[in-house]
Amino acid sequence: MREFAFSVPAPDKWGEGLVSVAAGRPIDLEVRLESVHEGILATAEADTVYDGVCGRCLTELTRPLRIEFQELFGYSGDEASDFEVQDDHVDLETSVRDSIVLALPFQPVCQPDCPGLDPVTGEKLTPGAEPAEQVQIDPRWAALTAYTPDHDDADHRVAPDTEKS
């Protein structure tokens, strides 16, 4: 068994969408390599930082990311293996990249209770603030203004110009 601790820059931008790890961002790795019957078992922890925007209010954010993974690098032989030992070396880049990309949040938020943007004005809402009243109603949806969920009577939910069956 051998243990290593080192830092490497991300070779490319890892991740798509709202957040990603920028190219050149340092990735700190702690790796333990163990010789097993089938090959070399790599167990690692990686620490880095991702950048992006909040999925609700589009505020810039930078957050730390810590991942752990374990991968078996098989000796070349008859069995098909995703990862193989090449000249007594293992290439961890694919495993590190896959683990980091899968750990990135799909819909990141700047804070758990982020109120987002006002749908009318597009301004960032403050916690507890109500969105601005929508002044203009699209004429295609005007018939829905007769519907109110407060009434249990079916007659109140039908627009006045609708036929009853």
pLDDT digits (tens, 9 = 90+) for 86-134: 777 888 888 999 999 999 999 999 888 888 888 777 788 876 666 556 5
Tokens 């990141």 locate to 108
Side-chain half-sphere of 138: how many Cα atoms within 13 Å? 2
Output the six-digit token pair for 91: 């290439």
Residue with tokens 């090449």: 86
The pLDDT of residue 143 is: 81
Q: What is the mean pLDDT of residues 37-41?
A: 86
Nearest to 122, CA basis, from 132, 136, 113, 107: 132
pLDDT average, residue stretch 30-54: 92
Q: Give the tokens for residue 112.
A: 């758990």
Measured CA to CA, the distance from residue 77 to residue 68 in angstroms comes to: 28
Percent of the chain surpassing pLDDT 90: 42
Q: Rounded mean pLDDT of the chain?
A: 83
For the stretch 50-73, pLDDT in tens is: 999 999 899 999 999 999 999 988
Strand partners, 89: 86
Nearest to 29 by CA among 46, 42, 43: 46
Q: Cα separation of 96 and 29, whole Å?
A: 9
50 and 13 Cβ atoms separated by less than 8 Å: no
Cα 25 from Cα 9, distance rounded (Å): 5
Residues counted in the chain: 165
Q: Quote the tokens at residue 74.
A: 């098989």
Nearest to 36 by CA among 100, 91, 90: 90
